[in-house]
Amino acid sequence: MDLGLKNKVAVITGASVGIGLAVAHGFAAEGAHVVMAARQGERLSEEAKGVGSKHGVRTLPVACDVATPEGAAALIAAVEKFGGCDILINNAGSGSNETIMEAPDSKWQDYWELHVMAAVRLARGLAPMMKRRGGGAILHNASICAVQPLWYEPIYNVTKAALMMFSKTLANEVVKDNIRVNCINPGLILTPDWVKTAKQLTANSGGDYQGYLQGVADEHAPIKRFGSPEELANFFVFLCSERASYSVGSTYFVDGGMLKAV
């Protein structure tokens, strides 16, 4: 299936590892050029070189923290110099671990900036470029926790729910400019963070981190396994393609059956 993405420009945040890196490879495999943003410049540069050389596309690494106004502005300026963009993937994010009673205001604010304000600022800066190029697509990576919260990460749950609502309201505003906005709520995706956490939790009990991860999958996902970043990336790429041209303002669950509602 030709997705119609050849020579499009996709901007991806959190692009140096895990889901973001898989998404960069996914777009590049379809012939799209990619602007890859992340905080760790050295790793980002190496991964961007790898994406470019593997798929024969142009890549631009932009080391910045999109959770700050300055970082978002730096990314917007870099994209402008690159010639503009057609696609924005708001992927940068992080899990949390706290209680509502104990978490300070500063932690709430940090996650609000990362999960919500980064998306707001990048939409303001990049949507006009898409409009000038005839339209485009914006996709937000939220979480199943936006609607089915886990008890130990209330700040993550709340800010991802806000991102999902922002996605819906942005979709209504920019559809007139031929910009389609959607949201994905992934379930269990086997990212390096999951592996790192599992190794830490099993370090004093034999180190069977794979068994721990299987237990998590058995408990939460009817499919009984984690999804791979590449499986999720395939869905990202499709939703931003012209093959999904009638998809506007929706939220899609890619979760192996984890969602318990209909």
Which CATH number covers residue 154? 3.40.50.720
Whether residue 64 contacts residue 71, with contact meaning beta carbons closer than 8 Å, is answered with: yes
Whether 176 and 116 share a structural domain: yes
**Domain annotation covers residue 157:** yes
Alpha helices in 36-153 (DSSP H): 41-55, 69-82, 105-112, 118-132
Whether 39 and 141 share a structural domain: yes
Whether 42 and 53 share a structural domain: yes
- Quick one: average pLDDT of 208-237? 98
pLDDT digits (tens, 9 = 90+) for 96-151: 999 999 999 999 999 999 999 999 999 999 999 999 999 999 999 999 999 999 99
pLDDT of residue 259: 98
pLDDT digits (tens, 9 = 90+) for 137-187: 999 999 999 999 999 999 999 999 999 999 999 999 999 999 999 999 999
pLDDT of residue 8: 98
* Residue 46 tokens, joined: 């190496």
Domain membership of residue 198 as a residue range: 190-226
Confidence class of residue 212 from pLDDT cuts 50, 70 and 90? very high
**Domain annotation covers residue 259:** no
User: What's the rounded Cα separation, in Å, for the pair 82 and 238?
Assistant: 24
User: What's the rounded Cα separation, in Å, for the pair 61 and 17?
Assistant: 13
**For residue 19, what are the CA distances in angstroms to 36, 152, 209, 221?**
12, 22, 20, 19
Whole-angstrom distance between the N-terminal and C-terminal Cα of the chain? 30
Whether 118 and 104 share a structural domain: yes
- Quick one: average pLDDT of 21-48? 98
Whether 114 and 181 share a structural domain: yes
- Quick one: average pLDDT of 202-219? 97
**Domain annotation covers residue 164:** yes
Alpha helices in 133-208 (DSSP H): 154-174, 192-202
Number of independent structural domains in the chain: 2
Whether 86 and 135 share a structural domain: yes
Whether 79 and 201 share a structural domain: no
pLDDT of residue 120: 98
Whether residue 94 contacts residue 20, with contact meaning beta carbons closer than 8 Å, is answered with: no
Strands of the sheet with 9-13, listed across from one edge: 59-63, 33-38, 9-13, 87-90, 136-141, 179-186, 251-254
- Indicate the pTM of the whole model: 0.97
Place of tokens 């994905």: 184
pLDDT of residue 258: 98
Confidence class of residue 27 from pLDDT cuts 50, 70 and 90? very high
Whether 216 and 247 share a structural domain: no
User: What's the rounded Cα separation, in Å, for the pair 42 and 44?
Assistant: 5
Residue 227 has pLDDT above 90, yes or no: yes
**Domain annotation covers residue 233:** yes
pLDDT digits (tens, 9 = 90+) for 2-18: 999 999 999 999 999 99
**Domain annotation covers residue 176:** yes
**Domain annotation covers residue 82:** yes
Whether 105 and 21 share a structural domain: yes
Whether 23 and 97 share a structural domain: yes
Residue 36 three-state SS: strand
Whether 117 and 148 share a structural domain: yes
pLDDT of residue 221: 97
pLDDT of residue 1: 84
Active site residue 252: no
User: What's the rounded Cα separation, in Å, for the pair 262 and 68?
Assistant: 37
Whether 38 and 141 share a structural domain: yes
**Domain annotation covers residue 17:** yes
**Domain annotation covers residue 262:** no
Q: Which of 111, 152, 156, 252 is catalytic?
A: 156
